[in-house]
Structure 1
């Protein structure tokens, strides 16, 4: 028995290695196809935004155990419900969905070991046309970049070619890149990138040892106090999927940020503030400013009254009303029960007319329309997180606020779909993949007012121009600029 078990395990290991090698070949093939594209074939500008020509991207996976014996149509229509079942039937017939690199029929059964591929028609979100500028390139291979807001550093989620590394590769000709520090997609400013692994490791070591000083500029809500303000509240992650962090005196990691007022707007509504983080926690500046009562004024995460309540998280306070029902509005209930992108203009018109206090009957009538009056199967809304918590006391306390943030995000996504133009000049869906054409982001949605202004390290210092929203601080910036203190023997 023992010998037989060992043989079985060896066979499983060999089979796993074969599958891994096959997937690796597919990924290499995909990479070679992407490498062959030029910038002119990828990027174009329209209506003040940098856009990507829609393209097919090949995703591949081996059949899951629960797929075995089921038809390929049944697998896709039940497992991947972000698109209508009619799309999957058409995609299989057209060869967009394949098994073992061969075209099949919707009735084809999935077998053990089958490689299932899906050529996804990708529509990347547009980003700013503000150029990704090179501040400096050193002989050692350090590339210093000024990143505009709206562009993520790495390919992630719906962003691939509209990312810093891909833009540097396709538009600037850098084939091998090793990002050293990170900036959030909506944050602008200095980004350090290695052109080889040696400089990247050295710079990462300097960052970890706090030998690199980072200086930021931000624009906050309210009149910030004068003088040097220090916040040393510990920070921890509340919800990974939401990238939500908080001050937690019991479980947070040590964090310290220095702030100083630079200028106050004439209308007294906003202030431009200098920030010097001494530690590098995720969202550290944003969380500390919220705690002090002066959140970054256009921050959708930490300056969101609908989520945080009137106190906006000042002093770590949670909203007074912590008990929320599972779906506080018909829009949110609908997001959990119907694929909005598959709805007809008539159905969307009904949805738009639903008042905030409408009954479940109205929701049922909308979700059942177009399906013979039968209620549709539940569909997970794109972007819905369903965050789970560990059962410690502080996480349980934060649970209602996280659910409030989840509901707010779902509502924003649903509102975008509902507001998508329905007229013939702006078709609601792509004719290749049935994805809805979403409205363009507004200029205010392309960035938050947080800018990585200046980085200094052993023997070097780099800085960028201040963004337009910080113009009032230009005459005051030199008085706060960090100067490394001399070493005293």
Structure 2
């Protein structure tokens, strides 16, 4: 008699859904793994994809990449569907359901088929994406010095120093490791992506700490050169206007009394009747300091894609005269670059426009590489039906169409252009044809000319655009 009810329960119990615990069952969450701080990029990272060169550009073949993150505190108790719908809106919800069906979403290293699973503290999420990187200039990285302590290079314009945003392989760190076997480098200072010139790396933590101490003690002398609009004053000019970050996401700053104190000294080198070559001596290291101070003085860098645009008004920000709110300024900047199809110069993608919504920026997008869109998603309208699995026939059809293509690009050797098999049926980026930028468009006329410390001095060559008789073609 005691066995009969149990048998009946077995016959009527619903089938268990993958990724969702049965009623009363406690889902096991493994303890957080200890992360090994300081591990450098190695051969496994470099082997993710390959480079090819085309039209004066260095390009990266699209590749599969795992973004990983532990559950944020604000996610605990919320379903994956809710988190994707409210914070990771670069893709529609059906994309994440398809990604789950393809085995690209894993929770604690177990495939997730049901996005209704509720997140717990220490949950570990892995999201495999088909990653596209913007092209950079094909200009060679020239070595200025390499010894037992440091590596010093002349960084080309358009190359980020280290992986950030949409860039990974097209970065100085990856190229030095992959092509010159220089690994475990410690970044001493950074240059903006569009800024070229002297870039220093330490080969050990001890050397990095020693030079960093010189930076903190203001013992590091920095000298830049740029070409600016108009006739810059012949006499030395000092600008000490405070600088405020308008948006970390878009990478925009402006002069503002609430900003951080800083100081830049400028000296004119030449004037060709239209533009001036100016030496710059930044005594502090605020974000975009030279560029913002030059804009304030009414002499922005000739081809600065941010601070020399009409988004700042008729005066282009001279004297801090903008007459726009921060939101209006960001919207104007994005609209200008959207019209030119040059959002890459702002280091953001079309979906990464959350600052325009006026919402508070959060750090979510950086972890799983799902940037945020302007269009809001009504998470409350995501019904239980939306969290259910797609039918087995759809799973089978999807797997048959996508699985062979997801592997072939990993092992292909590229010669030029897009290879067959590099397209991913889940990837929206694969469906977009983007015009290549001209190598000229990837160069900004700002160059780090010299870095001098108490026991070192490194100089690069004066760029061609800084010569007295140079004229823009």
**Which range, TM-score by smaller chain?**
0.5 to 0.7
**Residues 142, 188 of structure 1: alpha-carbon distance in 2 compared, 3 angstrom cutoff:** same
Alignment correspondent of 1:97: 105
> How big is the shift at 1:110?
4.3
**Root mean square deviation of aligned Cα:** 4.0
Q: Distance in 1 between matches of 2:264 and 2:436?
A: 35
**Aligned partner of 1:160 among 162, 165, 168:** 168
The question of whether the paired residues in 1 share the 8 Å contact of 2:228 and 2:276 is answered with yes
Alpha-carbon distance in structure 1 between the residues aligned to 2:125 and 2:179? 33
Shift of 1:190: 0.4
In structure 2, C-alpha distance between the alignment counterparts of 1:39 and 1:276, rounded to whole Å: 40
User: Would you say the 8 A contact 1:39–1:171 is kept in 2?
Assistant: no
Match among 448, 455, 458 for residue 454 of structure 2: 458
Matched, 1:256 2:263: yes
Change (3 A) 1:448 1:326: closer
Alpha-carbon separation, structure 2, partners of 1:430 and 1:74: 26
Structure 2 Cα separation of the partners of residues 183 and 323 of structure 1: 25
- 2:285 paired with 1:285: no
How much has 1:159 moved relative to structure 2? 0.8
Mapped contact 2:71–2:124 kept (Cα < 8 A): yes
What corresponds to 1:431 in structure 2? 425
* Equivalent pairs, count: 371
Task: Give CA-to-partner distance per residue, 1:266-302, whole Å, 9 cap, x none.
Answer: xx32211111222322222112211111011111221
Cα offset, 1:239, TM superposition: 3.5
User: Which residue of the other structure, out of 435, 441, 444, is the alignment partner of 1:445?
Assistant: 441
Deviation at residue 434 of structure 1 after TM alignment:
2.4
Among 120, 125, 128, the alignment partner of 1:119 is: 128
- 1:161 Cα offset (Å): 1.4
In 1, distance between residues paired with 2:44 and 2:282? 41
Name the residue aligned to 2:242. 234
Structure 1 residues 34 and 106, CA, compared in 2 at 3 Å: closer, same or farther?
farther
Q: Partners of 2:182 and 2:239 in 1: how far apart?
A: 39
Matched with 1:381 is 351
User: Any idea what SS the aligned residue of 1:192 has?
Assistant: strand
Aligned to 1:194: 202
Cα distance change of structure 1 residues 103 and 449 upon mapping to structure 2, 3 Å threshold: same
Q: Which has the higher contact order (CA 8 A, sep 6+)?
A: 2
TM-score w.r.t. the length of structure 2 is 0.67
**Residues 473 and 142 (structure 1), Cα distance of their counterparts in 2 relative to 1, 3 Å cut:** farther
Q: What are the within-5 Å matches in structure 2 for residues 385-400 of structure 1?
A: 385-386=355-356
Q: CA deviation at 1:318?
A: 2.2
Show CA shifts across 1:399-432 (max 9, x none): xxxxxxxxxx99xxxxxxxxxxxxxx999x8534
Partner of 1:297: 302
Quick one: structure 1 residues 276 and 75, their matched pair in 2 at CA, closer, same or farther if it must change by over 3 Å?
closer
How far the C-alpha of 1:86 sits from its partner, in A, is 3.8
Contact 1:291–1:314, Cα closer than 8 Å, also in 2: yes
Give the corresponding residue for 2:318: 314
Q: Is residue 246–residue 326 contact of structure 2 (8 Å, CA) maintained in 1? A: no
**1:469 match:** 465
